[in-house]
């Protein structure tokens, strides 16, 4: 309904896919929602995240993530902070706790050193 009332300003897209999503992040001032992406990927782009509601609560996150409730006023206040000079500065300076410079090496090493005979084959059952 929100998008239908604003056809020239808002467009609903079910999924951008990974490449388009990461490309779109270059064009935004903040990300708002309850997706893990706002906690895991967005901080690496130095963009503030407004985490709405309880879904991601308790999860490790960077200082660029602003948690708020789901009321209109709480969301508006969190967005105002995210877009403020202080909120934007915090996002620029905050570290992403999920970033590790050697992630690819760790994954490759784990795959290379895992004996294939120890892996279990997934079984499928047709009904």
pLDDT digits (tens, 9 = 90+) for 80-105: 999 999 999 999 999 999 888 898 89
| Residue 86 domain boundaries | 17-98
DSSP symbols for 57-96? TTS---TTEEEE-SSHHHHHHHHHHHHSHHHHHHHHH---
* Confidence check: pLDDT of 122 > 80: no
Residue 22 lies in a domain: yes
Number of domains composing the chain: 1
Residue 8 lies in a domain: no
Q: Output the pLDDT for position 24.
A: 93
Residue 121 lies in a domain: no
Residue 119 lies in a domain: no
This prediction's pTM: 0.74
Residue 76 lies in a domain: yes
DSSP one-letter code for 32: E
Residue 94 lies in a domain: yes
Residue 47 lies in a domain: yes
d(CA 62, CA 48): 10
Q: What average pLDDT does range 8-27 have in this prediction?
A: 91
Residue 115 lies in a domain: no
């Amino acid at each position: 309904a929100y998008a239908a009332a604003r056809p020239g300003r808002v467009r609903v897209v079910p999924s951008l896919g990974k490449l388009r999503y990461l490309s779109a992040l270059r064009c935004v001032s903040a990300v708002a929602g309850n997706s893990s992406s706002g906690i895991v990927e967005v901080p690496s782009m130095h963009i503030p995240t407004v985490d709405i509601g309880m879904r991601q609560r308790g999860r490790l996150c960077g200082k660029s993530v602003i948690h708020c409730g789901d009321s209109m006023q709480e969301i508006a206040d969190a967005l105002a902070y995210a877009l403020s000079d202080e909120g934007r500065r915090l996002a620029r300076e905050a570290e992403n706790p999920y970033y590790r410079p050697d992630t690819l090496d760790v994954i490759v090493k784990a795959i290379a050193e895992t004996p294939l005979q120890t892996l279990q084959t997934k079984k499928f059952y047709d009904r």
